[in-house]
Amino acid sequence: MINQNQFQPEKQTPATLTLKDIMLQKYLALYAYGFVETWSDLRKYNYFDGDSKGNNPYLGTFFFPASFYADNGGKPIQRYRPRYNSEYIWNLEALKKIGGDQPNYHTFKMWFSQP
C-alpha cells in the first residue's frame, strides 16, 4: 500500500504559502486553455524583474530564448501588433498616436505592468 504522505512531506499552511505557489497552481489549472492569462501574468510581473512591490513569482521558472527578433531591441514582447492592413490603411493616424506604427511597438509595456 502506498503512503500518500510520502509525496507531500509538508502540508501547505498559510504561513508558508507564497505568491510563487499560488501562481504555479494557477498555471497548472489554466494549462493548455489559459495561455493568454498566463502571458498576462508574465507581463504583469515583468517576466523576471517583478512588479513595483517587489513580487516576483516567476524568478527562476521562466527563461528567455538566446536571442530576440531584431526589431525587439533585446526586449521581450509585451503586446500584439495591430493586425492586418485595415488598421494601417484606414486607422494609421490613431496608430501613430500610440506608437503603433513603430517597428518595436510590440515591446511597449502594457498599462497594467507599469508602476
pLDDT in tens, 50-103: 777 777 888 777 788 888 889 898 899 999 888 777 888 888 999 999 999 999
The pLDDT-based confidence of 4 (bands split at 50, 70, 90) is low
pTM over 0.75: no
> Is 70 a member of any domain?
no
Q: What is the per-residue pLDDT for 96?
A: 93
Range of the domain at 105: 75-115
Angle of helix 19-30 versus helix 35-44 axis, rounded to 10: 160
Tell me how far apart the 2 most distant CA atoms of the chain are, in Å.
69
* One domain for residues 26 and 55: yes
Burial of 105 (0-12, 13-18, 19+ CB in 10 A): middle
pLDDT of 59 reads: 79
Domain count, the chain: 2
Q: Please indicate, yes or no, whether residues 59 and 88 belong to a single structural domain of this protein.
A: no
User: Residue 30 and residue 41: Cα distance in Å, rounded?
Assistant: 12
Which one, of 86, 82, 88, 74, lies nearest residue 105 by Cα?
82
